[in-house]
Chain A
Amino acid sequence: MAYLSMGEAHRRITEYLNRFSEAVSFQDGASLKQLLSVSSNSPSLLSLADSLNVFQDANRLIKQSDKYSQFGEIIAPFFRCLQSYRIGNLLDAYHAFEKAANAFLPEFRNWESAWALEALYVIAYEIRILAERADRELASNGKSPEKLKGAGSFLMKVFGVLAGKGPKRVGALYVTCQLFKIYFKLGTVHLCRSVIRSIETARIFDFEEFPKRDKVTYMYYTGRLEVFNENFPAADHKLSYALMHCNPHHEANIRMILKYLIPVKLSIGILPEDRLLEKYGLVEYSNVVQALKRGDLRLLRQALQEHEDRFLRSGVFLVLEKLELQVYQRLLKKIYIIQKQRDPSKAHQMKLEVIVKALKWLEIDMDLDEVECIVAMLIYKNLVKGYFAHKSKVVVLSKQDPFPKLNAKPVNS
């Protein structure tokens, strides 16, 4: 760190204070936003932090003038936050920032217009980022990480300020998305419900009026929630919306959406192109898709086993596992097609032994009872049209469309 004279430090601090008060007085949200984004590592803020470390008595400067001192409760802790952040003390940085944010909130509430929304966004974002880092610091010290939880409750306060009538409402979705991120990270997904309800029910104006980026994020997270609930049509709708509106240049975001959208689409019978999987690096799904295409139960099981950890972590394992029935259906369909080629008149009568034999080729050892059960399930789930005759151990397929396509509908359960 280059030597910083006391005078220079004083000058920089005063400059920051000037910019801050000007941004507020001119209602310049964009400038204010820059002044508050701690983790942006912007050169001006870094130099300010250095100056603060040199010039220890910044509070005196703040109290110097009414212009500054009226925001003293915001700026003073913010300065402390900058200092702590600069020296890598993230826990203190979070605490100071939380204090500043709590002081900022009533000010924001008092401002009639929504000019400071940008600044509020930054605060909501920064508090989450700082909390995550502080938690990492805590965890590495063997303490229980709890700052993210605290950030979540602060954001709920922010949400309360924004959710309502008026121009500030458009900011609510951003805060909601930050909350989603926190809740998903903490694994307290159930807390999302109340936020979602207030967004979806009290719609004073159209959802479409929210900023697009917030809408995409919102749809992504709510779509994920639907995947957990195995509500595939709704998940498909939300994730597709997110995919459609996502900035095509943000491939990471698209990939995240696809990670959930592909299993959803698979479970309603829609298979992706290999190209898509390759483009977004989702090759873990390619074998699953192959298995579905071929009716290769063994391949599906292998793929699931291979990527079990990943699928379990993302929470799509159970979704993918349920594709097994579709693989069976595909297998039966292949048998049916072969039988039809050999003897069209008897193609609709499929002996259980044949299926067992086919599975044996796939090195899957199942006895008659088990296969009978699978077939019964297929018929029960409407993946196969027909009936099973227990006496003769024969599946009697419907002559018309014995293997109906799902057509974007989920398997009956």
Chain B
Amino acid sequence: MLMMNQGVNTQTIASVDPNSLEGRYVVDVSQGQTSSYNPTAYESEAAPWTMHRVDNHSTENGILSNSSYHHDHRTQQLARSAQDSLNTASLASSSTQGTMSVTQDHSGYAAYNPTDPYGYGSSGYSSYYNNGYQQQPNHAYSQQQPSHSYSQQQPSHSYSQQQPSHSYSQQQPSHSYSSTGGAYQNTGAPYQPLSSFQNTGSYTGTTSYSTTYYNPGDYQTAGGYPSSGYSNQTSLWNDPNNANYTSQQYSTYAPDTTSAYSSGTAASTSMNYEQHYKQWADYYSQTEVSCAPGTEHLSAASTSNLGSAVSGVYPTSNTQPPASFTPASWRPESASSELPSLQTGATISSTHDGWKQGTPSFQNHHASPTQPHFQISHESKASYDNIQEQQQTAPQAPNSQFPAAHQVTQSYQSTLQNAPSLDTRRVSRMQIPTNPRIASNLALGLSKTDKDGPTNSAAAKPAYISVSMPKPNDKVLSNDATNSMLKPGMFPNSLRRYVERAFNLCKDDTQRVACQAIMKEIITKATADGTLNTRDWDAEPLFAIPNAEAVNMDSQCPTPVSSSPRYKRSPGRRSKSRWEPLPEEKSVDKPVSISNDIVKYDGWERKPPSVNSESKWNALNNMKFSLSEQKLPSKNTQRPAKRQHLADGLNAANNDASSDSDKEQSLTAYYSSAISIANTPEEKKRRESRSKRFEKVQGHRAEINYLKQKNAGAGNLYSRRASALMLNKSFDDSGSKAVEDIDWDALTVKGTCQEIEKRYLRLTSAPDPSTVRPEEVLEKALLMVQNSQKNYLYKCDQLKSIRQDLTVQRIQNQLTVKVYETHARLSLEAGDLPEYNQCQSQLKTLYAEGIEGCHMEFAAYNLLCVILHSNNHRDLVSSMSRLTEGAKKDKAVKHALAVRAAVTSGNYVMFFRLYKEAPNLNTCLMDLYVEKMRYKAVSCMSRSYRPTIPISYIAQVLGFSRTSDGNDEKDSDGSGLVECVEWMNTHGACLTTDNSGEIQLDTKASSSSLYMPEPEDAVAHGDANLAVNDFLTRTSL
């Protein structure tokens, strides 16, 4: 395997050669990797892997939709720029992972296993672990000193976990691949080689993965966007790994060639790296394409790995801010890593590698998490850009690149140091402000955050910003941010633009809402990751709007996952994280408290922390070198300055680390144990529980996603939507594709919910097909409501939800009319005029479209409504003039017109006669006017009658006797009479009793004493339907 890896490396080198710088780098890397990697790489890899895995998990949880997006982007971006592709790849990978995790969450790990050839499920993981890690560990680890611990660790926990991350990435790819099919197999083969690579170093392993991924990715790209995206993602993941590797190599180089580095322009070299990155990215795309075929994969993979590695390195440096997420973990990890590094002392380079790897992995993780949420690729791109800039500034030599890497590592270290020491963090903060980019980003970020996500995001964002600027700073900041130190308002301009772009994609309000939600989550995630500022938002692919929910879910998921799963997974890791914050204590605390810290941090973070620590250590080792180098780079840009700070911090950390080298070793052991734990069944259980938690947290969303996934298989609307959206995004990014290509039909909601009963809830985001009922179900629901014996409030609620589903699905047919008519009638019966008016206005347009219904009935209602409730003569005249001749012959309309005549002439006798013989629900509308009419009638009577009027007559004329059904005339003495007397009394009428004992209205006395009493059911807010009692009954439904 080692040989294979080496061979690959050499191949890659050869291919790289065309680009002298790249080639050199590659060579160096390969050399360094091979040499130092084997020992260190494993360790570092293991840590990074774990980190990656954790990140992946977290990202996976959140990122399903994103992944798809990422895919598109990646595919497009691949063509664009290697960086983009890398970024996207990392994003995609993260996203894919996120998707994977999501799927896992939903279906559970077990589900994953079956679905994925590789086996996402815990079993899959284990298998992966076993396969990859075990193999790797066996090979490289066994060889390496650390390998002992590592091998143990790897096989047992950390490695398995780390590998799982690999496996995750693989699995994810496999998911996508599963669709692609053949490609996966190919990838599978590469994977194995990768494992062999692992022997050479974690690098090789990762590279092989990446390559395999890439290949699949390429295939996928050729075939379907999603698959390509996955592959890209995987590649990204690989890239991160690679990056880590490269970083490791760099670090190793740095230590080894510290002199050379120092001599060389570190900054410039770093810049070169970035450039290389781009080149690499290009290569990636190219290589990927070429590789896709198959055997070439290895070489392609290697190249891609290199590129990825480069990218990884860059990202790492850049991503360190993203790492901010992990900052805590990082710090702990760094501490732990430091310890390991100390332990490995001899294999400083290896440790460096490991560190670097870890850092890269961290970066990757960060990028991936962030990307998944936002469009991590952007961030990564940003980081890339930064790197590129640096590289550009100092493109002089590959060596320089290495120094850059060193710097990066140093920066990490510094960050780690910072983490341990608050002061350093503060320093980093200070640095952050100094950085113009950061400052601008912060300011921008604030606005963006405001837009996207309220306080949380804002708070997180600040942290991110700081993090993003200088990685160490970011970390510190992130920590601070986590501590609510960050300024909420600070968002980078690029993020703003990103948000704008995202919103521009929105086609309608629902999408905008969804988009907003997604953005919110992305930003929060980014802030949480600390990648807010580091990300290149401009380059970040836009998320698919429909996926917004998924994203939300993802974002939600990650947090829960991180909290619980992390804990469960690797206590040791946690300890590392703790270590990071307190480097000095690391050695001591690590074993004890690591678990807690690690728990706090995501599994990813944990691993990264370790990596970081390692990187730090490496950095420390390299630090000196890198410091000098860093100083040089610092000239280049803010980053250099940051790096310097970091380097300083690293130096400090190194010092501590050096002192704690023994401790570190112990820590590494811890790590390994922790890692091994991760792989254990317990870990699996934890993961499952995590996934469950996710489901709980996500609730509907998770379910939705699940459904989506279920449906997704072939032509899931969701996936289609997502793809469409992705296309949009990709279009946006690349501008190469036309908007017309978007499958708009795919964006229309088609409900899948089979529940007949559904409570109405006002939509605050894009409707979820799984909660929307299709037409058949709605018909049943309508029938159910019509036959329901429950009260109006229940029916109203149900009808509103039916209406919503109809609206959401843009169903406008006879069913729609029926629903509105039913609701209008019900609301009339209940005297709920506001609701009736809503239905009436809808019916008006529906009738106008020629849909059949009870047009006349509702024309009559409309007429009555105007007559009785708006004293607007113009409206009345216009609505009368709009009646057709046919309508005027309709019984209901005729009745309404007669009522109008009675009202305008004040003919109360006629009015109450019409009241009694009203067709349909005209009575209900007239009911609302009865009181007024009675009062008018009685005041008229009391003016014109002398001396008295028998109450019985009034009761009969004014419809009081109506209460006794049927023969009201004869029954007029009954309840109607009592009611009439009551009414008279409440309206101030003077009643007398004549000789025969009949109650009479004293007209003369009453003419001056009549008054209109305040309505008994008057409510302050004017709507009796909102009365508390009704509300309570409604909620109890």
Contact = CB atoms under 8 A, between A and B. Distances in A.
Most buried by A among B904, B908, B944, B953: B944
A390 B949 contact: yes
A220 B190 CA distance: 91
Contacts of B947: 389
Contacts of A342: none
Interface string A219-248: 000000000111000000000000000000
Interface in B924-972: 937, 939-941, 943-950, 953, 957
A228 B910 contact: no
Most buried by B among A230, A321, A380: A380
A312 interface: yes
Given A322-B905, A387-B945, A390-B945, A373 B873 contact: no
B950 A390 contact: yes
Given A376-B944, A379-B943, A388-B944, A318 B905 contact: no
A148 interface: no
Nearest to B878: A187
A281 interface: no
B849 to A, nearest CB: 15
Given A321-B901, A325-B905, A373-B907, A315 B945 contact: no
Contacts of A187: 878
Contacts of A280: none
Contacts of B854: none
B901 A376 contact: no
Contacts of A318: 873, 876-877, 904
B943 A315 contact: no
B944 A379 contact: yes
B937 to A, nearest CB: 8
A229 B944 contact: no
Given A315-B877, A322-B904, A370-B909, A390 B953 contact: yes
B436 interface: no
A377 B718 CA distance: 68
A375 interface: yes
Interface residues of A, number: 31
A379 B949 CA distance: 15
A324 B877 contact: no
Interface in A270-320: 309, 312-313, 315, 317-318
Contacts of B945: 376, 387-390
B783 interface: no
B905 A377 contact: yes
Interface string B112-133: 0000000000000000000000
Nearest to A316: B877
Interface string A28-46: 0000000000000000000
A388 B904 contact: no
Contacts of A322: 904-905
Contacts of A372: 909
A410 B937 CA distance: 21
Contacts of A378: 944
B1021 interface: no
Given A312-B880, A318-B873, A390-B950, A375 B909 contact: no
Contacts of A312: 877, 880-881
B834 interface: no
B681 interface: no
A350 interface: no
A374 B945 CA distance: 12
A377 B873 contact: no
Contacts of A370: 907, 909-910
Contacts of B949: 390
B944 A375 contact: yes
A31 to B, nearest CB: 43
Contacts of B909: 369-370, 372-373
B906 interface: yes
B874 interface: yes
A253 to B, nearest CB: 23
Interface string A72-95: 000000000000000000000000
Contacts of B907: 370, 373-374, 377
A161 interface: no
Contacts of B876: 318
B941 A376 contact: yes
B944 A315 contact: no
Given A318-B877, A377-B940, A388-B945, 17 more contacts: A187-B878, A312-B881, A317-B880, A318-B876, A321-B901, A322-B904, A373-B908, A373-B909, A373-B910, A373-B957, A376-B940, A377-B907, A379-B943, A388-B946, A389-B947, A390-B945, A390-B953
15 contacts: A228-B873, A313-B881, A318-B904, A321-B904, A322-B905, A325-B905, A375-B944, A376-B940, A376-B944, A377-B906, A377-B907, A380-B944, A387-B946, A389-B946, A396-B946
Interface of A: 187, 189, 228-230, 309, 312-313, 315, 317-318, 321-322, 324-325, 369-370, 372-380, 387-390, 396
